[in-house]
Amino acid sequence: MANRLRITDPQELHRLVGLIHDRWLDAEAVTFDSENSTLNIRYLRETGPLSALIGRARFPAFECFLRISHVQSFSVQDQEKVRFYDMNTVRYDPKSMSLELKTGVPIKILAVVNRFDLTVDETDAIVQN
């Protein structure tokens, strides 16, 4: 069952964090859509108890996306180079208008935005590995 959550109020950020916490982002699938000024972060949600641990993520898994809209600039600093990172939270700083994705194993993903606008798309697409 595909689900979508869009939040445009920073006070609602906890709703989004509840969906992405302990999910595995794929560092090889962080992309920027310059035409729409959107940072797309692909992550995986296990299909259930039959998902097997392969490397650092569980497969099969549902393909999901965290989308940050109205991005002026962004940076990804990946020192560990392990591909899959467990997401913990997203922090928003209204002064700098920046969003930072926090993970267990450190990878730094920072986006400066014109406007607060985040979407989570949980798809029905299955990823095998």
pLDDT digits 0-9 by tens, 79-121: 999 888 999 999 999 999 999 999 998 999 999 999 999 999 9
The answer to whether the pTM exceeds 0.75 is yes
Domain span at residue 7 reads: 3-127
Q: Which pLDDT score is estimated for 125? A: 87
Between residues 11 and 46, which one has the greater pLDDT? 11
Structural domains in the chain (count): 1
Q: Which pLDDT score is estimated for 55? A: 54
As given in the structure block, the two tokens for residue 77 are: 């600093």
- What percent of the residues of the chain are helix, what percent strand, and what percent coil, each to the nearest 5? 10, 60, 30
Answer whether 75's CB lies under 8 Å from 110's CB: yes
Instruction: Give me the phi and psi of 14, to 5 degrees please.
Output: -60, -30
Q: Which pLDDT score is estimated for 52? A: 47
CA neighbor of 74 nearest in space, from 118, 103, 40: 40
Q: Which pLDDT score is estimated for 38? A: 98
CA distances, 103 to each of 20, 97, 110 (Å): 11, 20, 12
pLDDT digits (tens, 9 = 90+) for 2-15: 799 999 999 999 99
pLDDT digits (tens, 9 = 90+) for 20-45: 998 999 999 999 999 999 999 999 88
Q: Report the 10 Å Cβ neighbour count for 23.
A: 23
